[in-house]
Amino acid sequence: MKYKTCVSIGEKNPKKLKIILKKALSKSDFAEIRFDYLKKSDIPIVLESSKKNLSRCVCTLRPKSEGGLFVGKEDERKSILRLIAEYNPFLLDVEFNTIQKDKKLASYLKKSKCKYFKQVCCFICRCCCSGK
């Protein structure tokens, strides 16, 4: 059995992120881009500059309530998730509760053909499991 590796990247500077992403993908199968580390205004910039590599990226926009750094309103976060989905990354990481509560978002993601997985996090043990 061949194992796949994924490097998680939490970087606040878009230029540094691009450099780190290139290096990570040269040494790993996949990379996770933590969009919640970025300013909201930088997210479209990072999507454009990394679009050639997104087929090997897991994209995450984790809210503060789920252990991430995104502090905006939930509607704003869902709008950004839709934007990320338009770039068709390898996977879009979306919290289970978000999909359960927002059927319009779930429907949008299915129609967009963007692969996503529903994440359920356990903050006590810091382990995660996924399902679709």
Helices (H) and strands (E) in the chain, counts: 5, 6
Top CATH class, 6-131: alpha beta
Check residue 118 and give its pLDDT.
Answer: 54
Residue among 28, 25, 114, 40 at smallest CA distance from 72? 40
Domain residue ranges of the chain, discontinuous segments joined by +: 6-131
Check residue 97 and give its pLDDT.
Answer: 86
Tokens representing residue 127 in the block: 């382990």
Q: Per-residue pLDDT averaged across 71-77, rounded?
A: 95
Q: Per-residue pLDDT averaged across 23-32, rounded?
A: 96
pLDDT digits (tens, 9 = 90+) for 9-25: 999 999 999 999 999 99
- Position 91 pLDDT exceeds 50: yes
- Position 120 pLDDT exceeds 50: no
73 CB-near residues (< 8 Å, 6+ apart): none
Residue-level length of the chain: 132
Q: Model pTM?
A: 0.84
